[in-house]
Structure 1
Amino acid sequence: MTPMSAMRRGALTLGIFALITAGSVALTRALTAERISEHREAYQHRQLQAVLPQAMADIPTAELLNGTFALPAPAALGHRGPATGWRISREEGQAIVLPVITRQGYSGEIDLLVGMQLEPDGQPRISGVRVTYHQETPGLGDRIEAQRSDWITRFNGLRLDDLPPDGWAVKKDGGQFDGFTGATITPRAVIQAVYGALQYAERLPPPAPEQEPAS
């Protein structure tokens, strides 16, 4: 075999190997993409259930998805682009869930879901808050996670007029909420984000009435 033939055979073998590898990667991605999507949807559903009023915690995924709506002025909740909220209306009452982003954490962005039940007078009352993403210091700032402590549940049942404006702060700043030893910045950011979500929900216009189909 001449050197040129050997080079051609080597190049052909390498090309076939590359095609097989690329095909395997594409096939694996195709087979796992649906499963990954299902896991993400299941995780989101669990998080949404955790912040909904207890009477609505068994809401099916399809009903949640049907309740999505585009947030007006999403920048007020920390979003840099369009964002989606959830609105649920059942016999048990009405509830909304708002995704909120604060970039005032110690290590950057903190993402939250804030669930609220609408009272008969239209005022929102917090039914639950969960942190869905953060990079805060383990052992200090990560106490905002429900799995780490019950601190995040201190918001449950509150509405805007339950506290004066300066009460929505850590005790170190004259507010009503406990801070974390050595990590004041993290709870301060979460408290302000939740307070902002309540203010946003108070201004949120009601859903447009459904129009009957034309006959």
Structure 2
Amino acid sequence: MTPMSAMRQGALTLGIFALFTAGSVALTRAMTAERINDHREAYQQRQLLAVLPQAIGDVPVAELLDSTFALPDPALLGHRSPTTGWRVSHGTLQALVLPVTTRQGYSGEIDLLVGMQLEPDTQPRISGVRVTYHQETPGLGDKIEAQRSDWITHFNGLRLADLPPESWAVRKDGGQFDGFTGATITPRAVIKAVHDALVYAEHLPLVSHQQEPTP
């Protein structure tokens, strides 16, 4: 075999190997994409149920998923594109769940769900908060996760007017909430995001006027 033939054969073999590898990666990605999406949806459903008021925590998942509405001015909650929230009615009880994104975490973006119980003639009351995405430092910033600590539950039961504006902050900044040793930036970002959600809900027409969302 001449050197030129050997080079051609090597190039052909390399090309076939590259095509096979690319095809295998594409096939694996296609096979796992649906499974990953299913896991994400299941995780979101669990988090949604976790932030609802306990009295309606047994709402059927199908009913929950059908209760979405388009958020007006989603940028006020940190979103860069159209986003939906949830307005859940179960018997005489009503709840609101708002997705919030903050980019002020130590390692970037933090996504949250803020659940609120709606009551006539009063401000929405926080029923639960859960972090759905973050990249904060393990062992420090990840204490915002409910499975890591109970810190995130300290918002439960609060209304916007329960604390003066300056108290919606970590104690280091003169506020009401504990920070984390060595990780002040993370809780600071979450507190602001939760406060933003309450301010947003206070001016949301379907909350302030107790109306059903427009289909």
Q: TM-score, normalised by structure 1?
A: 0.84
SS of 1:29 mapped into structure 2: helix
Question: How far off is 1:205 after superposition?
Answer: 1.4
Instruction: Show the counterpart of 2:176.
Output: 176
Instruction: Show the counterpart of 2:131.
Output: 131
Contact 2:59 2:90 in 1 (8 A): no
d(CA) in 1 for partners of 2:17, 2:3: 21
Instruction: Show the counterpart of 1:77.
Output: 77
Q: Write the letter of the residue equivalent to 1:196.
A: D
Q: Classify 1:3/1:183 alpha carbon distance in 2 versus 1 (closer, same or farther; 3 Å).
A: closer
Instruction: Show the counterpart of 1:213.
Output: none
Q: Write the letter of the residue equivalent to 2:176.
A: Q
SS of 1:79 mapped into structure 2: coil
Matched, 1:90 2:83: no
Give unmatched runs, 5+ long, in structure 2. 207-211
Q: Classify 1:170/1:43 alpha carbon distance in 2 versus 1 (closer, same or farther; 3 Å).
A: same
Q: Write the letter of the residue equivalent to 1:46.
A: R
Contact 1:74 1:83 in 2 (8 A): yes
Which of 16-25 and 164-173 deviates more? Answer: 16-25
Question: How far off is 1:169 after superposition?
Answer: 1.5
Which of 14-23 and 179-188 deviates more? Answer: 14-23
Which of 162-171 and 123-132 deviates more? Answer: 162-171
Contact 2:124 2:198 in 1 (8 A): yes
SS of 2:69 mapped into structure 1: strand
Q: Classify 1:11/1:182 alpha carbon distance in 2 versus 1 (closer, same or farther; 3 Å).
A: closer
Question: How far off is 1:163 after superposition?
Answer: 1.4
Give unmatched runs, 5+ long, in structure 1. 211-215
Instruction: Show the counterpart of 1:119.
Output: 119
SS of 1:82 mapped into structure 2: coil
Aligned residues: 210
Question: How far off is 1:59 after superposition?
Answer: 2.7
d(CA) in 2 for partners of 1:162, 1:22: 57
Which of 72-81 and 135-144 deviates more? Answer: 135-144
Contact 1:56 1:92 in 2 (8 A): no
Matched, 1:164 2:164: yes
SS of 2:111 mapped into structure 1: strand
Contact 1:55 1:92 in 2 (8 A): no
Q: Classify 1:147/1:3 alpha carbon distance in 2 versus 1 (closer, same or farther; 3 Å).
A: same
1:92-144 deviation per Cα after TM superposition (whole angstroms, max 9, x unaligned): 51111111111222222221111111112252110101112222232222211
Contact 2:116 2:124 in 1 (8 A): yes
Instruction: Show the counterpart of 1:196.
Output: 196
